Amino acid sequence: MNISRLCILALSCLLPWVAASQADETPDQVTPLGSFSSINEDAEHCNGEALDVWRIGNTFVGLFHTCAGTTGDTITAVASVRQFDATTHAVVFEGALSRGTDYLKGGVQTPSKDHFSFKGTISGDEIVGSLSWIDENYPTHKPKVATLHLRRKSVQLPGFATQADWSRYATNLSGPRFP
- In order along its 179 residues, the chain shows pLDDT tens digits of 333 323 322 323 333 334 434 455 577 899 998 899 998 888 888 888 899 989 888 888 899 888 877 777 788 888 888 888 888 889 898 988 887 888 888 889 988 888 889 999 988 799 999 999 899 989 899 999 999 999 999 888 999 999 999 999 998 887 655 44
Query: Does residue 15 lie in a domain region?
Result: yes
C-alpha 9/C-alpha 48 separation (Å) is: 18
Query: Does residue 109 lie in a domain region?
Result: yes
pTM value is 0.77
Count of domains observed in the chain? 1
Q: What is the domain-level CATH number for residue 38?
A: 2.40.128.30
Query: Does residue 4 lie in a domain region?
Result: no
Q: Are 21 and 29 in contact (CB under 8 A)?
A: no
Query: Does residue 179 lie in a domain region?
Result: no
C-alpha 31/C-alpha 27 separation (Å) is: 11
Query: Does residue 58 lie in a domain region?
Result: yes
| Residue 82 CB partners (closer than 8 Å, separation 6+) | 92, 93, 94
Query: Does residue 16 lie in a domain region?
Result: yes
Query: Does residue 111 lie in a domain region?
Result: yes
Q: 10 Å Cβ neighbour count for 143? A: 12
Print the domain residue range for 33: 11-173
Query: Does residue 3 lie in a domain region?
Result: no
Per-residue b or e along 96-117, where b marks 16 or more CB atoms closer than 10 Å to that residue's CB: bbbbeebeeeeeeeebbbbbbb
